[in-house]
Amino acid sequence: MKNRLALVAGTDPEVAQLLGTLLQEWGYDPVYADSGEGALTELGHRRFLVTLFDLGSQCGEILRRLKAQGGVPGAVIVVANPDDGDRAADAVALGADDFLPKPFTADDVENVVKSALGRPRRNWERLPDDEARLRLHEEVGLWRSPKMSEVRDIIEQAARVDVTVLVCG
C-alpha cells in the first residue's frame, strides 16, 4: 500500500478518522495531520496520491502556502460545510481539484475521490530557481517571436473596439 498514500488533514478527529477508514477500505494508506502546519510538513516529505483538507478557514491559506512551498499532494479535495460555499469555491480557484460538502456518505467520498483522480493533476512542485529562470526566459522569448507579435497586433486592434475576443492556440 506504500504507493497509495492519502493525506487526511483535519481539525475534527472523528471526520478525519472516518475519511481515513474509508480510504483504507479502498486500498489507500492514510496519513493524518491535525493542522495545516502538520499537513504542510507531511507534504514536504512524502508524495501523496490524494489529499483531503478539512481545515475550515485555514484551507485557503494552506493552499497558498503549498503553492509557495511545493509538494506532491496528488488530487486535492476540500471538505466544507454547506454554508462554506464561498470558501470551497476559493479553494478550487487556488488549485483544489474538488470539494466534498458535509454531511457526506461513503458513496459521496468515493465519487469525489474517483472524480478528482480522473482529472489532470496540477503541478504543485516548486521549480528550482535555475529552472524557473530558464522557463521564464523561454516564455519571454516566445512572447517576442514574430508569430506572437502578430497575435499582439490583433489583440491591440480588438482592444480598441467593444467586442468579445477569444484567443486560442
Share of the chain above pLDDT 70, in %: 82
With a cut of 60, say whether residue 2 has pLDDT above it: no
Shared domain check, 34 and 81: yes
Amino acid at 54: D
Per-chain mean pLDDT for the chain: 82
For the chain, the domain total comes to 2
Q: Clarify whether residues 138 and 91 are in a common domain.
A: no
Q: What is the C-alpha radius of gyration for the chain, rounded to an integer number of angstroms? A: 20
Angle at 166 between CA 147 and CA 121, to 5 degrees: 90
3-class DSSP assignment, residue 105: coil
Question: Are 50 and 111 part of one and the same domain?
Answer: yes
The answer to whether the CB of 46 falls within 8 A of the CB of 29 is no
* Cell numbers at 100, concatenated: 466534498
Torsional class of 162: left (φ above 0), alpha (ψ -120 to 50), beta (otherwise): beta
Is the same domain home to 43 and 100?
Answer: yes
Is the confidence at residue 27, as pLDDT, over 90? yes
Domain match, 109 and 142 both = no
Domain that holds residue 145: 129-159
pLDDT tens digits, one per residue of 47-106: 999 999 998 888 888 888 888 888 888 888 888 877 776 777 777 778 888 888 888 999
